């Protein structure tokens, strides 16, 4: 494991294909352009963010046509009226000539409604393998019941067209309004959203006190929060377990005690042959890398590697190398790390 660079509360990374460059978000509201073997530069044109609690600048992904369009998508927490906040998603063109900057930034989606508090934004982004759809994880903002209601997009995964409009034929399109965005419901706080090699979508989400989950995401399914969980409320109140309500979709695997997951990948490279096809998870409590094998629609933990600091983000580069971002809160305390296979003895 090699420390490569330092960042201030980094949250997400996106490597620019065919280049030595990557975009890295910092939660306080800065977007950095990292160059391997070179300098780290700040990218201009980032929107103002609501930096408090779990809020701030969030995810960054490249458009499917990035090679020709230069378009990137990013998410952040934004302020509303009367001490409310909500997640937003925007698209912009990344300009690299001269001083790097985002141009023509346009907000294409918002959590609806904005609410009080500063937690559970989720706002992870993922494009479908065919590039036709943008999936957005929308946390329930620590408000519990909206995850089960169709009057908001809180506690949901939404499926959009790349311009932010609801995708046609979504499961609840006939209901109209915000429900037309919804792909799945009954989610708490999703911090990982990825497609596997088969084109199946999975989410990784925080439970309450116990009950972190990896879920296979199927259209129209209800994942049960806050009615069921494999954890309990922080004040000790019990929550019925998934096994008591087969009408809700149960997780592929859950953790109790928690792993406090950050992001995850489905590893596809050759540098770590034993990891191929598995979910490799960044964990914050306890600090670790957690490796999970997928068995059909179920999953099982197969390895755990202790880390010195909380790991927020994990990413795989084109060459199969694996990179981590530490969740460092002190200035410069979040390192970019590169993993390499241990030398054979």
Position 291 in a domain: no
- The CATH code of the domain that includes 251 is 2.120.10.30
Q: Is residue 36 part of a domain?
A: yes
What the block records as the tokens of 211 is 């009950």
Tell me how far apart the alpha carbons of residues 246 and 229 are, in angstroms, rounded to a whole number.
Answer: 12
Is residue 104, in this structure, part of any structural domain at all? yes
Give a yes or no: residue 27 inside a domain: yes
Q: How far apart are CA 143 and CA 329, in angstroms?
A: 26
Q: How many structural domains is the chain composed of?
A: 1
Of 301, 136, 146, 296, give the one whose Cα is nearest residue 213.
Answer: 301
pLDDT at position 237: 96
Catalytic residue among 120, 123, 206, 335: 120
Please return the burial class of 199, using the count of CB atoms within 10 Å of its CB with bins 0-12, 13-18 and 19+. exposed
pLDDT digit string (tens) for 121-176?
999 999 999 999 999 999 999 999 999 999 999 999 999 999 999 999 999 999 99
Q: What percent of the chain has pLDDT over 90?
A: 97
Could you tell me the two tokens for 323?
Answer: 């990179």
The per-residue pLDDT of the chain, averaged, comes to 97
Per-residue pLDDT at 65 = 98
Tell me which residue range forms the domain holding 147: 10-255
Model confidence at 332: pLDDT above 70: no
Distance, CA of 122 to CA of 184 (rounded, Å): 14
Residue 342 falls within a domain, yes or no?
Answer: no
Strand partners, 24: 13, 32
Tell me the pTM: 0.97
User: Mean pLDDT throughout 196-214?
Assistant: 98
Q: How do 298-306 and 287-295 pair as beta strands?
A: antiparallel
Q: Is residue 145 part of a domain?
A: yes
| 276 among known catalytic residues | no
Q: Residues 16-59: pLDDT tens digits?
A: 999 999 999 999 999 999 999 999 999 999 999 999 999 999 99
Q: Give domain status of residue 62, yes or no.
A: yes
Half-sphere exposure in the Cβ direction for 119 (13 Å, CA): 7
In a domain, 44, yes or no: yes
């Amino acid at each position: 494991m090699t420390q490569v660079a330092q960042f201030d509360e980094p949250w997400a990374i996106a490597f620019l294909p065919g280049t030595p460059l990557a975009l890295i978000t910092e939660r306080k509201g800065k977007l950095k352009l990292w160059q391997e073997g070179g300098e780290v530069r700040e990218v201009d044109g980032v929107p103002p963010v609501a930096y408090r609690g779990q809020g701030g600048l969030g995810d960054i992904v490249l458009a499917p046509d990035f090679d020709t369009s230069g378009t990137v998508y990013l998410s952040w927490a934004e302020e509303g009226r009367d001490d409310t906040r909500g997640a937003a998603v925007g698209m912009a063109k990344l300009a690299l000539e001269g001083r790097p900057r985002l141009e023509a930034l346009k907000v294409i989606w918002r959590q609806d409604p904005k609410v009080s508090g500063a937690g559970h934004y989720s706002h992870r982004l993922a494009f479908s393998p065919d590039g036709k759809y943008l999936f957005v994880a929308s946390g329930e903002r620590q408000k519990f019941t909206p995850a089960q209601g169709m009057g908001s997009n809180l506690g949901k995964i939404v499926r959009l067209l790349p311009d932010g409009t609801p995708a046609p034929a979504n499961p609840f399109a006939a209901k109209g309004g915000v429900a037309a965005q919804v792909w799945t419901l009954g989610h708490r706080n999703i911090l990982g959203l990825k497609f596997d090699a088969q084109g199946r979508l999975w989410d990784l989400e925080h439970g309450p006190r116990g009950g972190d989950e990896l879920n296979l995401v199927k259209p129209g399914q209800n994942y049960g929060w806050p009615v069921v969980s494999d954890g309990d409320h922080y004040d000790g109140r019990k929550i019925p377990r998934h096994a008591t309500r087969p009408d809700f979709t149960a997780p592929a695997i859950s953790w109790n005690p928690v792993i406090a997951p950050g992001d995850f990948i489905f590893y596809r490279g050759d540098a770590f042959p034993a990891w191929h096809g598995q979910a490799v998870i960044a964990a914050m409590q306890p600090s670790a890398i957690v490796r999970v094998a997928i068995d059909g629609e179920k999953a099982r933990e197969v390895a755990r590697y202790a880390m010195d600091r909380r790991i927020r983000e994990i990413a795989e580069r084109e060459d199969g190398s694996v990179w981590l971002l530490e969740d460092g809160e002190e200035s410069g305390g979040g390192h970019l790390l590169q993993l390499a296979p241990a030398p054979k003895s």
